[in-house]
C-alpha cells in the first residue's frame, strides 16, 4: 500500500477511543525499530520528520528508507508527516516532496498571524491532496536547561477553546495540536504533572468529531534515564507525561500522540551501555543494533498504551 493521509486513521481513532502514535525518525535504525514494532502489533503509523531530521539525514535518504518500510508492510497504513513546519516555504517543500500530511506550527505568532500562515499552508496543501495539522497555544518548558515549568506558567499558554473554534473555522485545518500541559524534551516536570483534560474536553464539546493532537508526550522512562546515568550520562531527575495520562487522552478527542524523546533515550541508553560494558567494541552494528531493539520493545509497549495495537486493518 502507498503512503496514506491521516483522515481514515483519525476517524477510526476518534470513534473508537484510541490514538495513533506519531514517532520521529532521523535515521535507519530508529525507523527500523519503529517499523518492526508496528509490524508485530499491526498498528497504524505516523512517521514524522522535522526540519532538523531533513537537514541531518537529507530527505532523499529518509524517503528511501520510508519507501522500503511501506513496500515491506502492505497491510500497515503509514503516514509521512512533517513535524513542526514553521514557515509556509518548508510546508510547501514537503507537500512537493510527497509528504501525505504536514504540520504548520505558527503558534509562536500572534493569533491573527497564526491564522494567516496556517490558512496559506492549508490552501496549498489541500490543493495537492495533503492534510494539515496546525497548532494553537504554547507548550510549556521548551528550554532544555530548565527542569519543569510552574503550573501557573503553563496555564497561561494553554489553548483557549473559543479561540480554537474560530481558528479552525478560519483556517480549515484538518487537526489541531493543543497545549494541555505537556512540553517537549526530557526535562518536563519536577513532580507528577496533571494535564489539563478540561481543555481537551471543552474543545471537543465545541468541535465534535474534530481530531486533536498531543505533542510533548514522551514519558521520559526511568529505565532509560537510569541506564544513561549508570553508564556515564548526566540526566537530571525529571518526569515526563505519565502513561496513564497518555491512555486517558487517547480515549478522548486526542487522535495523534507525538513521541520523540523516549526514542532518543532508548537508543542513547543502549549505546552507552555497550560503550561502557564492552570498551573494546568498535563495530557500529554492535551498539546501534541493541539500540534499535530497545526502540522496538519500547514502541510496542507505547502502542498498547495508546490503544492502537491491532487497529491497522480498520484504518486502511
Ligand atoms: O518536537 C520536536 C521533535 O522532538 C523534533 O526535534 O527538531 O530536534 O528534530 P528536532
Ligand atoms: P517529546 O519530546 O515529548 O518526545 O515530544 C515530541 C514531539 O512533540 C514531536 O513533535
Ligand atoms: Zn512537537
Annotated catalytic sites, by residue?
Answer: 83
Phi and psi angles of residue 210, each rounded to the nearest 5 degrees, phi first:
-95, 125
Check pocket membership of 81 for ligand 1, CB cut-off 6 A.
no
Task: For residues 46 and 21, give the distance between their C-alpha atoms in angstroms, rounded to a whole number.
Answer: 6
Ligand 1 centroid distance, CA of 96 (Å):
21
Task: For residues 17 and 36, give the distance between their C-alpha atoms in angstroms, rounded to a whole number.
Answer: 24
Atom index in ligand 2 nearest the CA of residue 261 equals 4
Check pocket membership of 215 for ligand 2, CB cut-off 6 A.
yes
Domain boundaries, the chain: 7-315
Check pocket membership of 24 for ligand 1, CB cut-off 6 A.
yes
Helix axes 284-306, 243-251, angle to 10 degrees: 50
Q: Which ligand is nearest the CA of 55, by number?
A: 1
**β-bridge mates for residue 133, sequence order:** 103, 175
CATH topology for 7-315? TIM Barrel (3.20.20)
Task: For residues 33 and 50, give the distance between their C-alpha atoms in angstroms, rounded to a whole number.
Answer: 18
Residues 6+ apart with CB under 8 A from 137: 107, 157, 158, 159, 160, 178, 179
**β-bridge mates for residue 214, sequence order:** 257
Task: For residues 121 and 266, give the distance between their C-alpha atoms in angstroms, rounded to a whole number.
Answer: 34
Contact 286, 307 (CB under 8 A): no
**β-bridge mates for residue 22, sequence order:** 46, 258
pLDDT in tens, the chain (316 residues): 789 999 999 999 999 999 999 999 999 999 999 999 999 999 999 999 999 999 999 999 999 999 999 999 999 999 999 999 999 999 999 999 999 999 999 999 999 999 999 999 999 999 999 999 999 998 874 433 344 556 666 677 899 999 999 999 999 999 999 999 999 999 888 888 889 999 999 999 999 999 999 999 999 999 999 999 999 999 988 899 999 999 999 999 999 999 999 999 999 999 999 999 999 999 999 999 999 999 999 999 999 999 999 999 999 9
Locus of grid cell 503509514: 78
The C-alpha angle 82, 88, 90, rounded to 5 degrees, equals: 45
Q: Which ligand is nearest the CA of 107, by number?
A: 3
Terminal-to-terminal C-alpha distance of the chain: 9
Amino acid at each position: 500500500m502507498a503512503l496514506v493521509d491521516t483522515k481514515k486513521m483519525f476517524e477510526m481513532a476518534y470513534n473508537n477511543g484510541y490514538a495513533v502514535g506519531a514517532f520521529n525518525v532521523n535515521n535507519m535504525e530508529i525507523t527500523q525499530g519503529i517499523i518492526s514494532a508496528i509490524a508485530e502489533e499491526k498498528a497504524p503509523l505516523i512517521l514524522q520528520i522535522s526540519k532538523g531530521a531533513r537537514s541531518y539525514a537529507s530527505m532523499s535518504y529518509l524517503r528511501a528508507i520510508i519507501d522500503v518500510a511501506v513496500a515491506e508492510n502492505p497491510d500497515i497504513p503509514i503516514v509521512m508527516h512533517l513535524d513542526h513546519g514553521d514557515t509556509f516555504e518548508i510546508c510547501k517543500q514537503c507537500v512537493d516532496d510527497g509528504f501525505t500530511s504536514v504540520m504548520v506550527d505558527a503558534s509562536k505568532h500572534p493569533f491573527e498571524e497564526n491564522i494567516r500562515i496556517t490558512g496559506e499552508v492549508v490552501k496549498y496543501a489541500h490543493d495537492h491532496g495533503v492534510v494539515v495539522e496546525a497548532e494553537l497555544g504554547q507548550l510549556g518548558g521548551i528550554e532544555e536547561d530548565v527542569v519543569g515549568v510552574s503550573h501557573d506558567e503553563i496555564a497561561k499558554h494553554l489553548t483557549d477553546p473559543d479561540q480554537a473554534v474560530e481558528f479552525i473555522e478560519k483556517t480549515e485545518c484538518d487537526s489541531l495540536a493543543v497545549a494541555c500541559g505537556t512540553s517537549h524534551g526530557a526535562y518536563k516536570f519536577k513532580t507528577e504533572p496533571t494535564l489539563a483534560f478540561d481543555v481537551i474536553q471543552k474543545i471537543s464539546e465545541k468541535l465534535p468529531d474534530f481530531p486533536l493532537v498531543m505533542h510533548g508526550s514522551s514519558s521520559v522512562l526511568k529505565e532509560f534515564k537510569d541506564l544513561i546515568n549508570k553508564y556515564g550520562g548526566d540526566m537530571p531527575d525529571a518526569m515526563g507525561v505519565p502513561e496513564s495520562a497518555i491512555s486517558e487522552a487517547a480515549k478522548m478527542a486526542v487522535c495523534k500522540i507525538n513521541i520523540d524523546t523516549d526514542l532518543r533515550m532508548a537508543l542513547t541508553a543502549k549505546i552507552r551501555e555497550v560503550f561502557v560494558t564492552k570498551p573494546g567494541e568498535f563495530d557500529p552494528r554492535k551498539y546501534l543494533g541493541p539500540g534499535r531493539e530497545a526502540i522496538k520493545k519500547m514502541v510496542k509497549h507505547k502502542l498498547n498504551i495508546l490503544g492502537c495495537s491491532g487497529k491497522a486493518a480498520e484504518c486502511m
